[in-house]
Amino acid sequence: MEKFLGGMRIAILSRNKNLYSTQRLVEACIERGHEPLVIDPLKCVVGIEAGNPTINFNGEMLQHIDAVIPRIGASVTFYGTAVLRQFEMMKVFAANRSLAIIRSRDKLRSLQYLAKSGLGVPKTVFASRPDNVEELIQHVGGTPVIIKLIEGTQGIGVVLAETKKAAKSVIEAFYGMNADILVQEFINEAGNADIRAFVVNCEVVGAMKRQGKDGEFRSNLHRGGKGEAVELTPLEKETAIKAARIMGLGVAGVDMIRSSRGPLTLEVNSSPGLKGIETYSTKDIAGKIIEFVEMSTVKFKVKH
């Protein structure tokens, strides 16, 4: 892999410089002759002034940044995207723009966008304090059903209810906590497995299958799921690329399940982890991200 001539200063928005994903992006930057700066967004001070947007980090003004790669966790979405938006105001190229991240973090909104564009998604219902919980269950074809907290991540806040009684209890409990939830059909033929397709610049650069452990319907690696390399079908590749494009993401992890009616998109992740996908696909995903940033930054500077 040739180094990019004319090294750039690339800011990596991350709360933890020791995370695998952050470290790999730093390594990939250095390998290609760039200067990486790991920036904790919560330690940034945003200065808002007409014609003079600024970002102060650890007492110093951030200047001469060529590009930014956001690795913003769900728990700091509001502040993290505010910092990213400030970089955008300073005319710095962002691998994922702030609006796209905000859009992808809203599970309900994401599913609405995907379905509107004709992509397959699991049958899903959303209601504000319904009087008839059984009606929700019937809308998605009856039990078993998946019940999800809209703001849950990494499998947290996702429950499989196998009977109507169990589903009613879980739904009523969540509503009793003033939590917003989605109720989705359970795809039995998926076999407690899903597929993560990693998309960079409208290209699938790696894919893996994640299999839930025995007795666990969630396939997240954080919850003990097992990963393996997988060959995507042309339709699955097309679905992943289209999902990332619909969300407006240059870098995305698209989660799908295989069903009898084709691939169904579960979620489009704007800060997908690199460890699992690099381990199981054996691809240099971090390098692909930096290549994308190089090419896009040049085009961005010509425009601006």
* Predicted model pTM: 0.89
Specify whether 182 is located in the same domain as 246: no
218 and 266 belong to one structural domain: yes
Q: What is the DSSP string of 61-83?
A: E--S--EEEE---GGGHHHHHHH
Looking up residue 132, the CATH number of its domain turns out to be 3.30.1490.20
301 within domain boundaries? no
Residue type, 205: V
d(CA 145, CA 169): 13
Structure-block tokens of residue 255 = 């989660």
Residue 186 DSSP label: -
Specify if 233 maps to a domain: yes
Pair 152, 22 in one domain: no
Based on the fold, state whether residues 114 and 58 are members of the same structural domain: no
Question: Is 164 in the same domain as 252?
Answer: no
Q: Which two tokens stand for residue 140?
A: 């998605």
State both tokens at 139.
């809308």
Dmax (CA) of the chain: 63
How many domains are there within the chain? 3
The secondary structure of residue 132, as a DSSP letter, is: -
pLDDT in tens, the chain (304 residues): 444 456 899 999 999 999 999 999 999 999 999 999 999 999 999 999 999 999 999 999 999 999 999 999 988 999 999 999 999 999 999 999 999 999 999 889 999 999 999 999 999 998 777 677 888 889 999 989 998 887 755 557 788 888 989 988 888 888 888 888 889 999 988 888 899 999 999 999 999 998 876 655 555 555 556 889 999 999 999 999 999 999 999 999 999 999 999 999 999 999 999 999 999 999 999 999 999 999 999 899 888 7
